[in-house]
Amino acid sequence: MILDATFWVTVSFFIFIGILVYFKIPQKIKTTLDQSILNIKDQILEAEKLKEDAKNILIEHEKRISNSRNEVKKMIDKAHEEAEKNVLKANKEFHILMENRKVNAEARVKQLKNQAIKDIKNASVKIAVETVEKLIKNSLDKSKLDKIYISSIEETKLALKKKSS
């Protein structure tokens, strides 16, 4: 029997396989691969869990944003309503103020009119008294009295015209 190289390669191969089995290398490789598979599965599960958490957080933030938008819209609407109320209130107060000023002005005009009438009456009385004094002082004859009377009436008319203007 010739021992050739093929025979020795075959014997070496079986010895190598035997050493691997003796030191339990295939089991160690299998254990390492199983451990790697478990680690990868755990990482995939963790990634899916993180994905779900992120999705829930996103939904929560979208709800918050939506709620915030609604609150802002309500605040803006309320501010518009209050502004309209304030404008109406200010307008009403302005009209009341103008009405009060109008009433005060009318009262002042009436007061001034009454004062003017009193001044005219006083001036008339003064002129009449002066005329009577002149008549008494100058009561010489009837023609002079008529002239004085006519001139007093003219003076009264002129004085009334001056007071009324």
The domain locations on the chain are 22-164
State mean pLDDT over 142-157. Answer: 77
Q: What is the pLDDT of residues 85-127, one digit of tens each?
A: 999 999 999 999 999 999 999 999 999 999 988 888 888 888 8
pTM for the whole thing? Answer: 0.42
What torsion, rounded to 10 degrees, do the Cα atoms 127, 128, 134, 138 define? 150
pLDDT value, residue 40: 96
In this predicted structure, the answer to whether residue 1 has a pLDDT above a threshold of 60 is no
- CA-CA distance, 109 to 102, in Å (whole number)? 10
Q: Name the band, by pLDDT with cuts 50, 70 and 90, for residue 153.
A: confident
